[in-house]
Amino acid sequence: MSPSAILLIDCPDRKGLVAGVANLLYRHGANITHADQHQDHRAGLFFMRVEWALEGFPLDVFRAEFAVLAEELRMRWRLELTERKPRVALFVSQYLHCLADLLHRHQAGELGCELALVISNHETGRALAEFHGVAFHHVPVTAETKSGSEARQRALLDEAEVDLIVLARYMQILSPRFVAAYPGRVINVHHSFLPAFVGAKPYHAAHARGVKLIGATSHYVTDELDDGPIIEQDVARISHRDQVEDLVAKGRDLERIVLSRAVRWHLEHRILCYGNKTVIFD
């Protein structure tokens, strides 16, 4: 695909925002290939994503002129280039289904990124990662060594110049200090339809409660456990005949789906966060 630029904007809502952005792009001859917008009327906020072809486009001139417009209209904004592939780290423990799915999707060309490394507190995933040609690092974690383990993980991430961390069923709670180092750049999958059944054994809790639907949730990681901005969710119907093992098996398919969607949307720069919510552009 031809290289393109993506502009993401959020700001207080007011008249003329779309016209201001579109006119500036038009003046520089932009060929817009995608545009989407959203207004949160209750919050008084405006969100926009615009993508255009870069061929022959004066990007540096536009960037400088847009910065002036953005300051005038109180816009938070960022400009992304599709020719730059983000570098991704996958964290995993002993459950490998999400890891296997992401590795396969990347190999199939579904994820526009470079898989820089896999980090795990178990050796279980080494053969799978190395089969796909991705470096694997075993960093054991215990209550006594957690601080040192996270320091080692951060050193590996810095060395690999990682842009995004994906917790592909990584069964450790990241410290607030670790999370703060990567704001909006850590995606987790939780094996429950949040906010129901938070914690370590949601399928057991769902079975005990007798629910008729189970779900999975992908979300950005914050200091609050399983409480970050939700990116994607999906559900499956179950019945009284299903046991915990059945819920786990059905849930694994949901976990793969919602995590891969969240990762893909993040890599395609389709997500804006505000408060504890997300806007996901088409």
Reported residue count of the chain is: 282
- Global confidence as pTM: 0.94
Q: Give the pLDDT score at 193.
A: 85
226 an active-site residue?
A: yes
Q: Give the pLDDT score at 120.
A: 98
Q: Give the pLDDT score at 192.
A: 86
For the chain, which domains are there? 4-81 (3.30.70.260), 87-280 (3.40.50.170)
Q: Half-sphere exposure of residue 108, counting CA atoms within 13 Å on the CB side?
A: 8
Q: Name the 3-class secondary structure at 205.
A: helix
Strands (E), the chain: 4-12, 32-40, 45-53, 76-81, 87-92, 114-120, 136-138, 164-167, 186-190, 213-220, 230-237, 271-274, 277-280
| 259 and 187 Cβ atoms separated by less than 8 Å | yes
Dist. CA 228–CA 188, nearest whole Å: 9
| 11 and 78 Cβ atoms separated by less than 8 Å | no
Q: Which residue is catalytic, options 60, 226, 246, 282?
A: 226
Dist. CA 112–CA 117, nearest whole Å: 15
Here the tokens at position 151 are 């320091």
| 229 and 278 Cβ atoms separated by less than 8 Å | yes
What are the 10-residue block averages of pLDDT along the chain, 282 residues in total? 93 95 95 96 96 96 96 96 97 97 97 98 98 98 95 98 98 96 96 81 90 94 92 95 92 96 98 96 94
Dist. CA 46–CA 41, nearest whole Å: 8
Q: Give the pLDDT score at 35.
A: 96
Residue 49 identity (one-letter amino acid):
R
